[in-house]
Copies of this chain bind each other. A is one copy, B any other.
Amino acid sequence: MSEEPKPRRRQARGERRIAQLLQAAANVFCAYGYTATSTNAIAREASVSPGTLYQYFPNKEAIAIELGERLLTEMREAHGQAFTPANLALPLPEMLDVVVDPMIAFNCENPVFLALMHGSEVPGRIAEEHDALHANLLNSVRDVIAHFAPELSPEERARIADMTFAIFKGGLGLVLAAPEGAEREATIAELKTVLLRYLSPLVTVPH
C-alpha cells in the first residue's frame, strides 16, 4: 500500500507537452467527437509523434479523462461562484444574470466541454463524473427554486429544476452556434427572457 507507486519526476518541458496535447485533443474531439478521433490525429495536431503522446498518457481514454477532469474542475469553480448565498438573495432577473452569465462564458471558452459531456460515446469514467456534476447543478437549481417558491412540493420543484436546466442546455447550444458579437448577446438575452417568463410566475417570496 505505498502511497506513490510512480513518483515520476516531470520536467517543465513535460508539463508543457501535456498542456499542448490536451489542447490538441480538445480541438479534434470538438471537431470529430471522441470515438472518431485517432490518437495519431491528436499527436499530429500537437505536432508530436505518437510515441511522445504515449509517454504522457497510458491510453486514449486517459486523455479524455484528464481533459474532462480539468474542465470539470473549472466548471465546478464557475458553479461555486455562480450559486452563492449572496447571489441567491438577489431579485430573480438579477439572479439570472449572475448565474447564467458565468455558465455561458465557461462554455463559450471551452466548447469541447459540451462535446465531451454530451455524447454517450465517451468513456465511462467521464460520464460518471459528469453525472455527479449534473446532479450537483440540479440540486443548486432546486435550492434556488425552493428559495423563490418554498411552498412547492419537492416533486414539483424537481420537475421545474429539470426543465429549467433543460431549457438552459438547449439555449446554450443556440448561443454557441451563434457567431460571437451582437447576435450571440441577443441570443443570451433571449434565453434569459425565457427563463424569466418561465420562473417569475412561481415567485411567492418578496425580495
Copies of this chain held together in the complex: 2
Interface members, chain A 44-79 (any B CB < 8 Å)? none
A41 CB to nearest B CB, Å: 14
Closest to A115 in B: B120
| Chain A 91-117 per-residue mask, 1 if CB under 8 angstroms from chain B, else 0 | 000000000000000000000000000
Report yes or no: B159 in contact with A33, Cβ–Cβ below 8 A: no
Candidates B163, B166, B190; contact of A159 at CB < 8 Å: B190
Bound CA span A160–B162, Å: 22
| Chain A 174-207 per-residue mask, 1 if CB under 8 angstroms from chain B, else 0 | 1000000000001100110110011001000000
Candidates B36, B167, B187, B191; contact of A171 at CB < 8 Å: B167
Interface residue? A40 (CB, 8 A) = no
Candidates B162, B171, B186, B198; contact of A166 at CB < 8 Å: B171
Report yes or no: B171 in contact with A33, Cβ–Cβ below 8 A: no
Interface residue? A124 (CB, 8 A) = no
Bound CA span A78–B168, Å: 27
Report yes or no: A35 in contact with B121, Cβ–Cβ below 8 A: yes
Closest to A201 in B: B197
Interface residue? A170 (CB, 8 A) = yes
Bound CA span A72–B171, Å: 24
Interface residue? A119 (CB, 8 A) = yes
Q: List 23 contacting pairs A-B, 8 Å CB cutoff, sorted by A.
A: A32-B120, A32-B121, A33-B35, A33-B119, A33-B121, A35-B35, A35-B36, A35-B121, A119-B119, A159-B186, A159-B187, A159-B190, A162-B174, A162-B187, A167-B170, A167-B194, A169-B173, A193-B198, A194-B194, A194-B198, A197-B197, A197-B201, A198-B198
- Other than the given A159-B187, A198-B198, 10 more pairs (CB < 8 A) read A33-B35, A36-B121, A159-B190, A162-B187, A163-B174, A167-B194, A169-B170, A170-B171, A194-B198, A197-B198
